[in-house]
Amino acid sequence: MAKRKRMSLSLVLGASMMVAGPVIAGCTSGVSADDWAATEGAIGRINMEEVEESFKKSQTVEDFEKRLNEIYEGDGIVLVRAKDEEGKRVIEGYEDLNGDSDLDPAQDDLLFTITNENGSNDLRGNGSNQHYRSSFGGGNFLFTYLIFSSLGRGGYGYYTPRSRVPQMETQRNGYRASPAYSGSASGSQVQKNSTYYNKQRASTGLSSNRQSYIGSQKTSGAFRTSNTGVRSGFGKFGGSSGRFGASGGGGAQSIIKRDRW
């Protein structure tokens, strides 16, 4: 079998410049464990500005879940649950790290929470997104739907049904194969994500579930089949902790686009 060549290009930063966006690289199957562990998807980063926008615009919970999985670059599907807690309405978004299509806080990774109280929404990032917080109005109809559509599920008004996860995976795979996801145009999802990451300070505060996931993927070699758009440079600009996320606001980035997408 002909050996695949890995092609990548890094953007060189000046002293006062930020990266304008990622570089699309050639097809490869030779991603190293450290390259994979430095990606936004591996460390669980998500474009929180796009999360907020999708919450405001989504007309149904299915729309919201679909859009979250278009935004996110990780391997696992983003699952949602909602609850009514002491007068507050809370939505939580998790990456399904163990791949069982079921939301399990003991094994999955919490990416963000949206808390609704007195007509105001508070969006907060968790894990590698914990630097982000935003307050905004609107979206009450979606909260109402989430809370009351599936009453009696252990105190949670809603959680993503396992039966719909295969459909969500199919939709996401189709989206990732399109220019809308990884195209070179400024409006592609990866380009918009890159712009967001470059202006946000990354956090090294990964959850224990996330750290265990990264360790097991590297040890088992499962990272080699990753579906993430690999950003091989971002996480390497954080010194000794660079494997798990940069300490600065951006870095030289490349995306390794796999030929099976």
Indicate whether 62 and 166 sit together in one domain.
Answer: yes
Indicate whether 185 and 74 sit together in one domain.
Answer: no
Both tokens assigned to 6 = 């890995």
Indicate whether 125 and 235 sit together in one domain.
Answer: no
pLDDT top residue among 129 and 238: 129
Q: Is residue 17 part of a domain?
A: no
Q: Is residue 242 part of a domain?
A: yes
Indicate whether 194 and 239 sit together in one domain.
Answer: yes
| Average pLDDT value for residue range 206-234 | 82
Please tell me the distance from the alpha carbon of residue 9 to that of residue 173, in angstroms, as a whole number.
25
Residues 162-177 have pLDDT tens digits of 999 999 999 999 998 8
Indicate whether 53 and 167 sit together in one domain.
Answer: yes
pLDDT of residue 35: 83
Domain holding 223, by residue range, is: 23-45+179-256
Pairing status of strand 88-95 against strand 78-85: antiparallel
pLDDT at 129 over 70: yes
Q: Is residue 16 part of a domain?
A: no
pLDDT top residue among 199 and 233: 199
Please tell me the distance from the alpha carbon of residue 52 to that of residue 44, in angstroms, as a whole number.
17
SS3 sequence of 206-248: CCHHHHHHHHHHHHHCHHHHCCCCEECCHHHHCHHHHHHCCCC
Indicate whether 166 and 61 sit together in one domain.
Answer: yes
* Number of domains composing the chain: 2
Specify which residues 134 forms β-bridges with.
Answer: 123
For residue 73, give the nearest of 53, 51, 45 by alpha carbon. 45
Average pLDDT over all residues of the chain: 74
Residues 228-256 have pLDDT tens digits of 764 533 333 232 233 333 333 333 344 54
Indicate whether 112 and 133 sit together in one domain.
Answer: yes
Q: Is residue 115 part of a domain?
A: yes
Q: Is residue 232 part of a domain?
A: yes
Q: Measured between alpha carbons, how far is residue 41 from residues 127, 170, 252 in Å?
A: 12, 18, 16
pLDDT of residue 19: 32
pLDDT top residue among 14 and 114: 114
Q: Which of 121, 153, 171 is the last residue of a domain?
A: 171
Residues 71-123 have pLDDT tens digits of 999 999 999 988 777 778 888 999 999 999 999 999 999 999 999 887 788 99
Please tell me the distance from the alpha carbon of residue 190 to that of residue 21, in angstroms, as a whole number.
9
Extract long-range pairs of 206-210: CB within 8 Å, 24+ residues apart.
206/43, 206/44, 206/127, 206/128, 206/244, 206/245, 207/44, 207/109, 207/110, 207/126, 207/127, 209/97, 209/106, 209/107, 209/108, 209/109, 210/43, 210/44, 210/97, 210/109, 210/127, 210/128
Indicate whether 160 and 245 sit together in one domain.
Answer: no
CB 37 within 8 A of CB 238: no
Please tell me the distance from the alpha carbon of residue 62 to that of residue 67, in angstroms, as a whole number.
9
Pairing status of strand 120-125 against strand 88-95: unpaired
Indicate whether 88 and 193 sit together in one domain.
Answer: no
Indicate whether 137 and 205 sit together in one domain.
Answer: no
Indicate whether 140 and 239 sit together in one domain.
Answer: no
Residue 138, Ramachandran bin (φ over 0: left; ψ between -120 and 50: alpha; else beta)? left
pLDDT of residue 87: 73
